[in-house]
Every structure is written in C-alpha cells, then in structure tokens.
Chains A and B, each alone.
Chain A
Amino acid sequence: MLGNTSGDNSTKPVRPLEPTRRRFLDYLLGTSAFATLGAILYPIFKFMQPPRIIESAENSVVAAKLSEIPVNSGKIFKFGNKPGILVHTDAGEFKALSAVCTHLECIVQYRPETKQIWCACHNGQYNVSGKNVGGPPPRPLEEFKVNLRGDDVVVTRS
C-alpha cells in the first residue's frame, strides 16, 4: 500500500517494499525481545552483586591493656572490621600493624622464637616493623601509630 507511488511505472519489482516491512517488524520484534531480556537479566545481575557496606570510620582503638601483653609477645585486636596485630618487641617497643597478610589475606601471628611476624598459611615472614622479609608476601604490612594512655595501649590509623 505504502509503496505504490503513482507515476512510477518503471522496471522495479512488483512488491518492492514488502521485505522492508517484514524487516521493520523483525527489527521491532528483535529489539523488544532484546530489551525484555535485558530488563530481566539486569536486575538479576545487579542482585548478585553484594551491596557496599560503609566501613566503620574507626580511627583509634584500645588494642590491649599493658598488663596483658608481656615483652616478646603479640596480640590480635579488632580494628574496625579488620584484624590488627600489636607486638611488644624484645626492645620494649610497641608496634601495631595490619594483621592481614599481603599475600593471600590470612591472619598473621607473632612468633617469639624468631621474633618475627609469621603467616601460617604460606610461610610468609615479616619483621616487627611489618617489612616482608621472607616467603611469598609481596608487600609490607600497613603500620599504625601506638600511644600509651595510662594502662591502655591505643592504636591510631596514621
């Protein structure tokens, strides 16, 4: 119907526009099918991504009491939602570091025999300042500031 422009009696095929209409309908059908599929899949895909939980902006925490951490020992403490490690070194100094191994995220521990921080998972070793000194860890542990406030050992994000 649309295609029969008057005056045009040349050698064109008899039904030149029918394939075009078919193609147009196919296009409509195809895009709407695609859009429908997208409208179904997008929420599913987004649903599978866990929402970001805002980390508690904890900047300072009482990691331990002086009495519970003798010389040459370590203690895991909670720093926000991550573990930290407090070390009372042989020299009497306090060191506070992230306890999350930089290799594959296991939680490290202090070894009094070697005076090192050690990760049991893949034998990673750090010195008491958090520097990676042996095994697979690629980076040092993040260091925090330590202050003594009376009997409390206070750790602050630097």
Chain B
Amino acid sequence: MRIQSLVEWFDARLSISTLAAIARKKEVPLHRHSIWYYFGGMTLFLFVVQVVTGILLLLYYRPSSEGAFESVQFIITEVKFGWLIRSIHSWSANLMIATLFIHMFSVFFLRGYYPPREITWVSGVFLLFIVICFGFSGYLLPWNKLAFFATKVGTEIAGVVPVVGRPILRFLRGGDDVTGATLTRFFGFHVAVLPATATVFLGIHVLLVQMHGMSVPPNLLGQPIKKMKFVPNFLLRDLIGWILAIGVLAALAALFPWELGEKADAFASAPEGIKPEWYFLFMFQTLKLLPAKILGFDGEVIGIMAFNIVAMLLFIVPFVDRSDNRRRRLIFNVLGVLALLYIVVLTIVGYVT
C-alpha cells in the first residue's frame, strides 16, 4: 500500500509509466543476421566497465612524468587487486575497440544506415573516433617507453598534415616535444574531455536507436519477420553476453596481465620490435612500407592524408549510398570487403614482421 503510493508519487513527477510503456513496446526482429544486434550493446557494456575501472584507477594514479610510472607500478604491486583492475581496464579497452569495429562493419554491410538512420551512423562514427582518442591518450598514461614513442609518432603524424598540423601538434603535446606537459594534457583529455564528449554522442546514438527501432537488412524486407520483446527477453540474452564478457576479462587479466614495461626516457633509442596497439597496426605497417618520396612529396604525408580522407568518407557513407540501386549496393559491398581485407592483411603482416 505504502509502496504503491510511493510509486504513484514518483510517477506523477517523472512519468515512469510512460518510460515503462516505451520499454515494453521495444522489439527486436529475429532473422539470420540477428546475432549482429548484440555487438552494440556489448560495446556499451565494455564502455561501462571502462568507466568503473577508470574511476578506480584514479584513486591512485598520479599524472606527472615523475610520478605516473611509479604510481601504476604501485597500483599493480601494492594495491589489493590493483593488477586486476588495471589489466581489466587495458583488456576491456581492447575488446571494446574490437566489438566496436564488428558493430560498425556489421551495420555497414547490413545497411543499418539507410534512411532515417543516417544521423545514428554519423553519431556512431563520432563515437569511433572518440574511442580511438581514448585509446591513444590512455596508452601514454603509464609513461613507459613504448607509450612515449607511440605518442611521439602519433602526434608527429598529426603534425605532418599541411597548414593546421603544426599548431595541432603543439596543442596536443603542450609544447614542441613529448614531455610531462603532454602527459598532463592527455590525462585531462582522457578523464574529462573525452568522457564528456562520449556521453553526449552516446546519448544521441542510443536515443536514436530507440526512436527508430532496430534496423532490418533491406534484403529481408517484405518477408514475414518474427519479433522478440526487448524487455525482458532480449535484455536477458544481452545479460548472458555481459556475464560472459566479465568472465573473459577476468581470465585475460589473470592469464595475460597487462605489462608495464620500462619507464619512458627522452634520451634513449626506440626499443627494437616497437609496435603500436593492434588497432593502429595496419596504419603503422602502411607507413613502414611507403617509400620516402611519392611524386615529390614525403611518403608519410601522402599516407597520412589518405587515411584522413578515408576517415572523412566514413561520415558521408549514408548520404552517398542511399538508393536501392543494386549496382551501388554492390560497389559499397566491394569497398567494404576491400577495406576489411586491407585492415586484416596489414595487421597480420604487422604482427609477423
């Protein structure tokens, strides 16, 4: 009786019943491609893991060139379960990027961006770049040798872009070189700027998915499609995936704890066999293979500009591929497969060489 009136009190002020009605109405189509619906939710779950473990790491981490490496060392050797929290943060970051790529490519091939879902796609591309920035800025924070050189190269890549490059490089580094000033900035980006931006785009993205409902691939339209209630049926299935993910993360953290490496030194040679994180490997390998000069321009400038252009093209995909034109659909499928092949092949080449 009491609880009932309490519920009514809140309902009158927050319209909970309306929200509950929306949740009850949400349905998930069941067809042979339904498996791909899980990857967006999985990415979101891993993002939540990042937020929780990230806040925990903030209790001990010190963002300065004198203290950063030592504080991470302290976390993994002295703090109870510190090794676990830090390893889960690193592993979950990597898995999140993997599920995000799977999510993006599945939406691409199943044409989830057809009208009226163009803005959902665009907000997703923004989230992709935000997540990559998270990865890049977070990688520096332990202030080890690998991170130091990765940041030097990564920011130099930004600096290579004509006209705007140099000011961007100085803005990112907090000066002309990678120093403690860079670490301070990257820390600020990683724990304040990027989380705030990500929250906004995530809000738009998830809200639009609710507004438009789940997309059904165009080649399945016109057929009778079975549906499943999102609450509770699909959500419970999502939950099984999330519990599995926690298990996988704990196992990875226990079996393959994330290494800390050696402390960064601005006056030491780059270590042999230095490689970036796997999701940058295909670009890294490209830069390695490009000749010093292409048509009179520095090779790396051409390579970097090409990647920038491809990145920009991602945004306009839904505005170019709009029609039910069979030929255009074929062209986009071929382009998607080529991009996927390029990424996979160069990543493998990067690993084995």
Cross-chain pair count, CB within 8 angstroms? 79
A73 to B: closest C-beta gap in Å: 13
Contact of B288 among A83, A107, A123, A132 (CB under 8 A): A123
B130-171, CB < 8 A from A: 149, 152-153, 156-157, 160, 167, 170-171
Q: Is the CB of B271 within 8 A of A120?
A: yes
Binds A, one of B51-59, B204-212, B293-301: B293-301
A81 contacts B269, C-beta separation under 8 Å: no
Interface residues on A, range: 20 to 34
Which of B156, B157, B176, B273 makes the CB contact (< 8 A) with A120?
B273
Q: Mark B182-209, 1 if CB is under 8 A from A, else 0.
A: 0000000000000000000000000000
With an 8 A cutoff between CB atoms, is A137 at the interface?
yes
List residues of chain A with CB within 8 A of the CB of B298. 138
- Is B256 positioned at the interface, with any CB of A under 8 Å from its CB? no
Is there a chain B Cβ closer than 8 Å to A104's Cβ? yes
- Which of B153, B170, B181, B293 sits near A121, CB closer than 8 Å? B153
Q: Do A136 and B290 contact each other (CB < 8 Å), given the known contacts A49-B170, A104-B300? A: yes
Instruction: Flag whether B274 is at the interface (Cβ < 8 A).
Output: yes
Given the known A-B contacts A50-B171, A50-B174, A120-B274, are A136 and B269 also in contact in the complex, defined by CB atoms under 8 Å?
Answer: no
Chain B: number of interface residues, binned into ranges? 20 to 34
Docked-complex contact A136 and B299, CB < 8 angstroms: yes
Residues of B within 8 A of A83 (CB): 266-267
Chain B residues whose C-beta falls within 8 Å of the C-beta of A138 in the assembled complex? 292-293, 298-300
> When the two chains form their complex, are residues A103 and B269 in contact, meaning their CB atoms are under 8 A apart?
no
Which residues in B have their C-beta under 8 angstroms from that of A103?
Answer: 287, 300
A105 contacts the other chain (CB 8 A) = yes
Instruction: Encode A100-114 as 1/0 by CB contact (under 8 A) with B.
Output: 000111111100000
Known: A50-B170, A50-B175. A120 touches B290 (CB 8 A): no
CB of A86 within 8 Å of the partner chain: no
Q: Which chain B residue has the least Cβ–Cβ distance from A84?
A: B267
Consensus secondary structure, chain A interface = loop
Q: Are A106 and B157 in contact (CB under 8 A)?
A: no
| Interface residue A76 (Cβ < 8 Å from any Cβ of B) | yes
A122/B170 contact (C-beta < 8 A), A104-B157, A136-B299 known? no
Contact of B292 with A76 in the complex, beta carbons under 8 Å: no
Nearest-CB residue, chain B, relative to A106: B270
For residue A117, which residue of chain B has the nearest CB? B269
Q: Mark B254-272, 1 if CB is under 8 A from A, else 0.
A: 0000000000001111111
Given A50-B174, A138-B299, A106-B149 contact (CB < 8 Å): yes
Best-surrounded residue of B175, B176, B269, B271 (most CB of chain A within 10 A): B269
Q: Is residue A119 contacting chain B, with contact meaning CB distance below 8 A?
A: yes
| Binary B-proximity of A17-48 (CB < 8 A = 1, otherwise 0) | 00000000000000000000000000000001
Task: Say if the beta carbon of A1 comes within 8 Å of chain B.
Answer: no
Q: Evaluate contact between A76 and B267: CB separation under 8 angstroms.
A: yes
List B contacts of A106 (CB < 8 A): 149, 152-153, 270, 274
A86 to B267, CA, bound (A): 13
Q: Mark B229-259, 1 if CB is under 8 A from A, else 0.
A: 0000000000000000000000000000000
Q: How far is the CA of A132 from the CA of B291 in the complex (A)?
A: 12
Give the interface of A toward B (CB within 8 A): 48-50, 53, 76-78, 81-83, 99, 103-109, 119-123, 132, 135-138
11 A-B contact pairs sorted by A residue (CB < 8 Å)? A48-B171, A50-B175, A50-B181, A76-B267, A76-B268, A77-B267, A106-B274, A120-B274, A121-B149, A136-B290, A138-B298
